[in-house]
Every structure is written in C-alpha cells, then in structure tokens.
Structure 1
Amino acid sequence: MSIITQYSSYAWVKFWTPSFWLPSNITWSDFKDTEDVVYPKFQEICYPVAYSIIVVFVRLIIERCIFLPWGLRRGLKQTKKKVAKNVLLEEAYKQGGSDLPHSKITGLAKQLDWSVRQVEQWIRHRKQQNKPSALVKLTESGWRFTYYSFAVCYGLWALWDKPWFWNIDECWTNYPHQTVSWDIRLYYVFQLSCYWSMLFSQFVDVKRKDFLEMFIHHLTTILLIIFSYTCNLIRGGSLVLIIHDFSDVFMEAAKIFKYIKWQRGCDTCFGLFFIVWTVTRLMIFPGYLIKNFWLTAPNFMPMFPAYNALKYLVVVLFLLHIMWTYFILKILKRALLSGKTERDSRSSSSEASATEDTSDQTASSVRLRKK
C-alpha cells in the first residue's frame, strides 16, 4: 500500500509540474495573492462538480413548475395516444423495427385479415410512441433557453467594464500576474457547473443524433474552462464562453415556438439564430479570438504546453461549428427549394429521419417555412 501511495504522490507532483502549466521561470509559488493581484485557486474549479447537482435541481424546478404547466395550457399532452395492442405486430416490430420489408407487411396483413395500409399505419403509430412527446422536448428547451439567457446577461454584465472585452490584447498584458475579480470567478464557476450538469444529463435527456458531437463539445468546453482557470488564462477563456452563448438563446426559443406550433415565432427566431450563429461562431470566433490566440498572444508572452493545449481545444470547437453549419445549410437549402417545413437536424431525436442533425450545442427540431 505504501508503494501505491508513494507512486500516487509522485504522479500527482509530476502532473502539476510548472513547466507544463506555467511559462518558463514561473512557479506555483508565484501564484500567491498580494494586495494588488488575486490569483485563481485550483480547488475553486473543483467545486462545480458538486454544484452541478444543484443545477440539476434548479433545472427540475424550472421545467416542472414553469414550462410543464405552460405547455399543458398550450394544449400539449403529457403522454401520447397509445397504439392498440397487437401481439403479432408487436413481435414483428421488435424484431424488425419500423423498416419492415413490404413482403413482411403483406404477410402480416393476411394473417390479421387487415389491409396493408392498416398494418403500415399501426407500425407508424408504434414508432411515434417511442419518441419523446413535444411537451418533454418543450421543457428541456425551456430550461436551456433559461440557462443561455441568464449566461448571456450575466456574462455581459461581468465583462462589460473589463478592458479585455473591448481590446483582446489585454488578455495577455502582464500575464500571468493578472487579478481575477469575484464576478469573473462566479461566471466561471457558474458556467462550469452548468456544463458538468449538461454532460451528465445528456445520458438521460431526449437522445439526439449528434449525441457524440455534443459530448465532445461539452467535454472540450469543460477542459478549456479547467485549463484556463488553472493557468490564469481566464480573460481569454471568458471571451470564448460568452461568444458561444448568444446564438443558443435564439435556437432554443425557435424550438419552443415550434413545439407550441407558433410558426411565425419559430421562423423569426430561427432566422435570428442563423444570423447570430454566423456572426459569432463563424466570423468573430475564428477571425478574432482564434487568430489572436494563435498569432498575437506569442508576441506578449512565452508559450508553454498548457497554453498550446488550449489553442487546440478552441480549434476543436471551431471544427464542430463547421460541421453543424453544414447541416444547418442543408436544412435551409431544402426548405427554400421545396417551400416545405423542414427540421433542424441539429436537434432531432435519435429516431428521427436522416435529414436531422445535431447540437448544441445544437439540438432541436426547428421547422422552417418559406416566406
């Protein structure tokens, strides 16, 4: 046991080697608070794992006390109409799912003395029964809309008077001896707590086709928050966080309007979502933030391994944005050409058709109508 303890202690010390986490000639002893500078403490970034449990309870309250009653008043049902029980069809459905060959459907129709149309209709209704109801999806989108709205409002309030919000070069001035104010600490703790809760709840929420991509997105963001907090690269990290929240507010609003069947509100919010997504995630993020992280920061401070890891993490996020943008554009093209309502593939359930995409980052069925 003593050997294991010694090895664990050795591994822990090696993990925190300053040569990885900090610039050359800087050690952890330099991260002691002074009258002018308050440094981040690693233990503070551990608390959000526990705080995520509180976030889950807050989410349940918001979903069940606000959006569930509202959805019911809007005429949504808690449960779907169950299909009539049929042992033969149920067994065939479990074996072949909804994609039964026509010959199989014809055989079932003969055995039941039904028409082929009746069998196909039963299978279609049975498939719909497995999907989450619009009310369930409404409550989830309602919670995410609340979270993203609060994150944007608080982030703007906390960052508005910070010099690096207006001049990104200030992210690197006097690094690493940069004080961390209480409002930015709270912003980081809040965001990390919510991302931990989203990472955990992803396994019990409505299953999306972009499950893996969203898992990678959440995990990448969590690592970015932890790394940037530990290295006191909080200024740049706070800009990455807030730039990602703007578009999600409109996306979740569009989904909410879709579920309550208010098409005009859905179309308007989806249009705003696409504009804000394009500006923030495809223009500002790569052209302003990533460019500065990669090309400008080395002019202000020496590079070190942990910072290089952060540079690649933001690139991973951008690659996910490109992938999601591809699917969004496919939805827009299909809607404009056909003039019919389509679904935003970023947010469909796992049983949805192949035309549906993902996320976040992007996840929900948003209907479009050609205007």
Structure 2
Amino acid sequence: MIGTISEWLWWDRLWLPGNLTWADLKDEEGLVYARASHLYVTVPYALVFLVVRYVFERLIAIPLAASLGVTEKTGYKVEHNAVLEHYFITKSKHPGQVKSTLTQRYHRSTSDSKSPLHELSSLLDCLCSWRMVFYLAAFIGGIIALYDKPWFYNLREVWNGYPRQSVLDSQYWYYILEMSFYFSLVLRITFDVKRKDFKEQIIHHWATLTLLAFSWCGNYIRVGTLVMLIHDSSDILLESAKIFNYAKWESTCNGIFVVFAAVFIVTRLIIFPFWIIHCTWVYPPDYYPPFFGYYFFNFMLVILLMLHIFWAYLILRMVKMFLFGSLTKDERSDNEEDEEEDGETSVTEDNDGHVKVTNGCGAGGGANHH
C-alpha cells in the first residue's frame, strides 16, 4: 500500500511536463536536481532555530527592550472582596463559570507580579525582534544569491531550460533556511502571543511551507527565490515598526510604518501579482504544455495573494488611524484572552458602598482595539 501511494504521489504527470519523466532528471555531469529527500534536513534545522531563538530572546531581545526604554507591566494583586463575589455568583446566569473566572483572574494577577520576564517578553513581543533579524539576514542573503542571475532582471529566463535546471548552492541554502525558519514558527505559534489573525497566520505558514516544498520538488526554484525575496523585503520594516511601537518611540514607529505600508503595497499587491504571478501563469505555456504542477503552483500563489489583500485591508485601517487618530498598537496585537475579558461585565463598589455594574463594551468601558 505504501508503495502504491508513493508511486501515485510521485507520478510524473503531477510534477513534470508531459514530455519528461523523473529519469530525465538524474544527477550527472555536475548537474544536481532538487529532490524531496533534500528537505528532510529542515526538521533538525527548525529545532536549531528554536534553540537559537530562545538564546536570542534572553541575551539580545530583552536587553534591547530595556535599552529602548520598554518596562515591564506592574502586576497588581487582587484582593478578595466578599460583596462583589457574592453579587457575581447570585446575579450571574452561570455562577460556576463566574466563580471560575474570578479565581483565574486572581491567580493571573498574582502570577503576573512574580514573572516580570514573561511580561517583558509579551510587551516587547520578542518574536518581532527575532523575525526582524531573520528577515533582514534572509533579504541580504537573497540579494547576494540573485543579483548576478539573469532571471532576476528578465523573468522569461525563469523558464529557460525548465525543468532541467541544476540547483545552485545559494538556492539550496536560501530554500532550506527559509523553510526551516517557517517550520520553527509553526512549532511555536501556539505558544506565542495570539493575534486577531491567528488563523490566517497558520494558513500563511502552512501555505508558505507547502508552496516552497512543492516548488522545490517541481524545480520551480528560480521563481521561488524571487517570491521569498519579495516577501522578506516588507517584513523587515513591519517587525521593526512593531519593536519601536512597543518602545513608545512614536515618531520612529510612524516613519517606519509609512515606509512599510508603501513597500508592502508595491511588493505584495503590484510586483507579486503583475510580475511574479504573470510570470508563472502566462510565460510557462510558451515553453511546455500546462500540467497539474502548473495549475497547483499558481493556485498556491493566488492563496498568498488573498492573504496579502487581507493584510492590506488591516494596513489601510492602521493608515486611517494614523491620519485621523492615534496609532498605538499593531492591528493584529490583540490576543484572544484580552478580547474575552473586554466583553465581560464588571462590578465595582463606590465610596458609599454601593455596587455598580458596567459592561466592558459600554461607553468608557471598552478597550481600544487596534
């Protein structure tokens, strides 16, 4: 059964044009072609990335936060109040759930005051520093790997000789390191701060890994490196803006954000669809008859384009707040836990001992979500 599945999965017609088979892509005369077995190394490298990230956060990201003036949140111990707890339990439709919520908030408040490292990491969002460093290194590496290649300047060269295109060392390491990095993000995503676009992030990471893996196995490596370079260019600015946002350097954050918004729109909504997707959709039929891999690869690129449009919508909302209001948080910064608390009913006791009930979404009581 395993042999049958493997034979079907690696059927020539799925991966290669109709006039070629895997036998035509044998390593010989100094030519090395991409193989699925090359990608196994991304698993241990992803684990290495997790270790490096842990060390980076402790030795670099947190000291960087302190140097930028980022301070930890102060934890306030919640005092037991029998009047308020009695009101909650007697008036709530779900007293057991309310009591559990009160207990959780009490333990959370006490634990927060005892774990400044966790608060500091959350406030700075060390993930931003880590991703910024990687994207910067990957972008520089991508420029070095591509600046002297003809397909960097003429997109028709992407398909010259396809699929008999030998894998270069620079392409190999560019792919392996990018895939290992995204695989490490997938392994850590459930432990990181959850944002509004948590589901979209998961889709993005898996779509990216699937696209990179398929493009590697199908030898779409030349266009794959161009796609990675385009994405890394704007991601550097996004993560940089977040870091200065957490540090309350508003002028620096706003300046970087304006540049990021412009670069994002140009690279993701102009260059990506009208250059890259045009290159993968229009040019290939001039070199070989369309096959399954041709349609699947373009389908994955369109999924990424849809995600770009979604994030462009969030960026435009932030631009609106930047121009007509105050931009204080990343549009995606809310975690699920905060959103749940903002919608809860709160009970307070005034100076005269009267109990006052307010709703978190009411006037003056709602959190300002950005």
Is TM (by shorter chain) over 0.5? yes
Quick one: distance in 2 between partners of 1:89 and 1:206? 34
Give yes or no for contact 2:145–2:171 (8 Å, CA) kept in 1.
Answer: yes
Could you list the structure 1 runs, at least 4 aligned residues long, displaced by more than 4 angstroms after superposition. Answer: 87-95, 351-354
Kindly report which structure 2 residues correspond to 1:1-371, keeping only aligned pairs within 5 A, or say none: 7-35=1-29, 37-78=31-72, 80-86=74-80, 133=119, 135-138=121-124, 139-338=126-325, 340-351=326-337
Letter of the 2:50 partner, please give it: V
Check 1:293–1:349 CA distance in 2 against 1; reply closer, same or farther (3 A cut): same
Q: Distance in 2 between matches of 1:93 and 1:68?
A: 42
Q: TM-score, normalised by structure 2?
A: 0.80
C-alpha separation in 1, matches of 2:337 and 2:83: 19
Q: Secondary structure at the match of 2:308?
A: helix
CA distance in 2, matches of 1:141, 1:88: 42
Query: Contact 1:334–1:342 (CA<8 Å) still a contact in 2?
Result: no
CA distance in structure 2 between the partners assigned to 1:311 and 1:287 by the alignment: 13
Measured in 2, the distance between the counterparts of 1:24 and 1:336 equals 54
What is the rounded CA distance, in whole Å, between the counterparts of 1:140 and 1:230 in structure 2? 30
- Contact between 1:294 and 1:311, CA under 8 Å: does it hold in 2? yes
Partner amino acid, structure 1, of 2:54:
L
Distance 2:41 2:87 in 1: 47
Report the alpha carbon displacement of residue 327 of structure 1 after superposing the two structures with TM: 1.6
For structure 2, list consecutive stretches of 5 or more residues without a partner in the other structure: 99-104, 341-368
Question: Take 1:90 and 1:79, find their aligned partners in 2: how far apart are those partners?
Answer: 26
Deviation at 1:208, TM superposition (A): 1.0
For normalisation by structure 1, the TM-score amounts to 0.80
Q: Is the 8 A contact 2:72 2:123 kept in 1?
A: no
Partner of 2:353: none
Distance apart, 1:341 and its partner CA: 2.9
Mapped to 2, the partners of 1:91 and 1:186 lie a distance apart of 59
8 Å CA contact 2:179, 2:209 repeated in 1: yes
Task: Specify whether residues 241 and 77 from structure 1 end up closer, same or farther in structure 2 by C-alpha distance, changes over 3 A only.
Answer: same
* CA separation of 1:294 and 1:94: change in aligned 2, threshold 3 A: farther
Q: Which amino acid aligns with 1:349?
A: N
> CA separation of 1:334/1:258 partners in 2, compared to 1, >3 Å: closer, same or farther?
closer
Deviations 1:181-205 (A, max 9, x none): 1011010000000010111111111
Compared CA separation, residues 291 and 195, structure 1 to 2 (3 A): same
- How far residue 134 of structure 1 moved from its aligned partner, in angstroms, is 5.1
CA contact (8 A) 1:38 1:180 kept: yes
Q: CA deviation at 1:49?
A: 1.8
Say if 1:271 and 1:308 are closer, same or farther in 2 by CA, change over 3 A. Answer: same
Q: CA deviation at 1:59?
A: 0.8
SS across alignment from 1:261: coil
Contact 1:52 1:197 in 2 (8 A): yes
Could you list the per-position Cα deviations for residues 89-134 of structure 1 after superposition, in whole angstroms to 9, with x for gaps in the alignment? 9969999xxxx99xx9xxx9xxxxxxxxxxxxx99x96xx69x735
Instruction: Tell me how far apart the structure 1 counterparts of residues 184 and 84 of structure 2 sit (CA, whole Å).
Output: 36
- CA distance in 2 between partners of 1:18 and 1:233 (Å): 15
Corresponding residue SS for 2:74? coil
In 1, the alpha carbon distance for the partners of 2:258 and 2:58 equals 29
Distance 2:315 2:237 in 1: 14
CA separation of 1:44 and 1:80: change in aligned 2, threshold 3 A: farther
Q: CA deviation at 1:82?
A: 2.8
CA distance in 2, matches of 1:341, 1:284: 28
Which runs of no fewer than 5 residues in structure 1 stay unpaired? 1-6, 109-121, 355-366
How big is the shift at 1:258?
1.1
Aligned with 1:46: secondary structure? helix
Q: CA–CA distance in 1 between the matches of 2:49 and 2:171?
A: 19
Distance 1:29 1:94 in 2: 72
Q: Distance in 2 between matches of 1:317 and 1:92?
A: 51
